[in-house]
């Protein structure tokens, strides 16, 4: 094998996946078709669960130091915002951080761990057999071929990996489009005096300002059609009565609401993550965040398989757990987009205004607000087990660990499982290198096994009697057999 894992795509999903694999000692190479980072930022935010998973690896501070936090967010652009600050998390906010900077920080971490990143290498096709995957493509020096144990497509909505693997991508074509523009020159006084206008305005680094618009007159233009400066300026005047003095555009782009979800996130030794697995309108900024969470779910499982200790069926849990999340995200973004789209259609404006007013009133109810906040932030994501303990599959809030000091996240900084309970020393010895332990307790639990992605794998409640055989079976189901010799495969 040339390497253990090839990742196609050096966006946020591919970079985080690369760091996860390298953390576990897996040889990984990332292939990126672009010759260099373009510096453009389609996404601008990291939501609470994304910040939490960075905290699980001890690197959240790098990102927090570069961004700006806000405690609330929106759903479908409704007036009543979602309140992230009331959620059970240390990170009850959205972090404004441009995608370009997020990628720079993730690449910095990947290179620290020895990940090989090859720019100017585009994957064109693949063939796989029982032992591995052969990847063919074109690079700076011409055609190339690589052989790896596994291939992961993190190569976006037009994924060559997905297409070559024969994975279906059903869904709906776009019915509307919006435009974004990053400008070096704007009239800031005019922006400040504008009040509430149907234009998203966000300051970017380097003195740039982003404006996002959806024009009733231009919303049916295909997302593939280039945006012109004159078109963008005319749309601003149409919507806000002013062009805000825009000049010196640095990036103009159009994006639509085409929505698709891969039929399967796995085909043999080939996996999909991020936009290669799901595309949708960027309603509430969930796309990049969902991709990061895909990577966190897949990374430790793939590493366990390669390092020889994964229980049978471990890799199948990736699709089983993440596909339903993709379905939730594509579903809620379609609902949000419809609320936006119909406000722009004259025949529907009055009834949709009434519907949006009703939605605003519902968001005044704390339980409703928290429900949607949990959905958008991904803090409510659960990999529940049918007929199992309701805690199993839920995320663990980053609680202090008690007298011993530290927090829950400290247990999984190195990508291992975490164990909290009275038999910490015994567990550490039996699953050496796979489980990090703390001789402590979580609230109302005698024991808990925490997955590397921060979700609960197994618990014993305070009133349940100890059962060594049951515990060993439960831990083995996730962390492999105790004291088993690991053979790389």
Does 388 score more than 90 pLDDT? Answer: no
Would you state the pLDDT for residue 489?
39
Q: Are strands 142-153 and 133-139 parallel, antiparallel or unpaired?
A: antiparallel
Reported as a single tens digit per residue, the pLDDT across 150-205 is 999 999 999 999 999 999 999 999 999 999 999 999 999 999 888 888 999 999 99
- Walk me through the domains of the chain, giving residue ranges and CATH numbers: 3-172+260-377 (3.50.50.60), 177-255 (3.30.70.2450), 383-489 (3.40.30.120)
Query: Tokens for 320?
Result: 């089983």
Structure tokens at 420: 């909290």
**Helix pair 12-23, 99-112: axis angle to 10 deg:** 20
pLDDT at 405 over 80: no
pTM of the predicted model over 0.85: yes
pLDDT for 485 equals 41
pLDDT for the residue 335:
96
Within 10 angstroms of residue 424's Cβ, the number of other Cβ atoms is 18
- Answer yes or no: is pLDDT of 354 > 60: yes
In 3-state terms, what secondary structure has residue 475?
helix
- Partners of 83 in the beta sheet? 72
* pLDDT tens-digit readout, 62-98: 999 999 999 999 999 999 999 999 999 999 999 999 9
Could you tell me if 333 and 281 are in contact, meaning their C-beta atoms sit under 8 angstroms apart?
yes
Assess contact for 301 and 20: CB atoms under 8 A. Answer: no
- Residues belonging to the chain: 489
Residue 463: left if φ>0, alpha if ψ -120 to 50, beta else—which one? alpha
First to last CA, the chain: 11
Q: Are 240 and 213 in contact (CB under 8 A)?
A: no
d(CA 238, CA 197): 11
Predicted confidence at residue 443, as pLDDT, reads 86
In whole numbers, what is the pLDDT of the chain averaged over residues? 95
120-124: long-range contacts (C-beta < 8 A, 24 or more apart)?
120/32, 120/33, 120/34, 120/35, 121/31, 121/32, 121/33, 122/31, 122/33, 122/160, 123/6, 123/8, 123/31, 123/33, 123/153, 123/155, 123/160, 123/161, 123/164, 124/160, 124/164
pLDDT of residue 488: 39
């Amino acid at each position: 094998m040339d390497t253990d894992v090839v990742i196609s795509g050096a966006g946020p999903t591919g970079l985080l996946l690369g760091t996860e694999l390298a953390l576990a000692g897996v040889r990984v190479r990332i292939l990126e078709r672009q010759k260099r980072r373009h510096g453009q930022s389609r996404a601008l935010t990291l939501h609470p669960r994304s910040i939490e998973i960075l905290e699980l690896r001890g690197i959240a501070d790098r990102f927090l130091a570069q961004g700006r936090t806000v405690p609330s967010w929106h759903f479908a652009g409704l007036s009543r915002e979602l309140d992230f600050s009331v959620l059970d998390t240390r990170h009850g906010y959205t972090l404004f951080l441009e995608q370009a900077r997020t990628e720079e920080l993730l690449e910095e971490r990947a290179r620290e761990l020895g990940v090989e990143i090859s720019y100017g290498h585009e994957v064109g096709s693949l063939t796989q057999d029982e032992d591995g995957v052969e990847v063919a493509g074109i690079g700076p020096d011409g055609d190339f071929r690589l052989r790896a144990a596994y291939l992961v497509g993190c190569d976006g909505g037009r994924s060559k990996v997905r297409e070559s693997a024969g994975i279906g991508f059903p869904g709906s074509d776009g019915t509307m489009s919006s435009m974004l523009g990053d400008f070096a020159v704007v009239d800031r006084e005019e922006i400040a005096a504008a009040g509430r206008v149907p234009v998203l305005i966000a300051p970017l680094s380097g003195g740039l300002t982003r404006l996002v618009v959806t024009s009733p007159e231009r919303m049916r233009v295909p997302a593939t059609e280039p945006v012109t400066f004159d078109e963008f300026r005319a749309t601003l005047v149409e919507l806000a009565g002013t062009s805000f003095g825009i000049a010196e555009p640095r990036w103009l782009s159009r994006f639509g609401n085409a929505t698709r979800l891969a039929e399967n996130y796995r085909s043999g030794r080939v996996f999909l993550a991020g936009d290669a697995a799901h595309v949708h309108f960027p309603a509430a900024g969930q796309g990049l965040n969902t991709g990061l969470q895909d990577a966190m779910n897949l990374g430790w499982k793939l590493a366990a398989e390669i390092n020889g200790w994964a229980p049978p069926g471990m890799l199948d849990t990736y699709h089983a757990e993440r596909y339903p999340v993709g379905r939730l995200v594509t579903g809620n973004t379609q609902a949000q987009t419809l609320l936006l789209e119909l406000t722009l259609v004259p025949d529907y404006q009055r009834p949709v205004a009434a519907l949006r007013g009703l939605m605003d009133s519902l968001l005044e109810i704390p339980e409703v607000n928290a429900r949607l906040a949990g959905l958008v932030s991904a803090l409510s994501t659960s990999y529940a087990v049918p007929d199992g303990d309701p805690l199993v599959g839920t995320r663990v809030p980053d609680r202090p660990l008690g007298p011993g000091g530290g927090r829950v996240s400290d247990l999984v900084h190195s990508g291992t499982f975490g164990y909290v309970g009275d038999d910490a020393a015994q567990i550490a010895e039996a699953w050496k290198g796979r489980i990090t332990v703390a001789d402590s307790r979580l609230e109302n639990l005698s024991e808990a096994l925490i997955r590397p992605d921060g979700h609960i794998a197994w618990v014993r409640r305070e009133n349940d009697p100890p059962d060594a055989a049951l515990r060993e079976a439960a831990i083995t189901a996730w962390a492999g057999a105790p004291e088993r010799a690991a053979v790389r495969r």
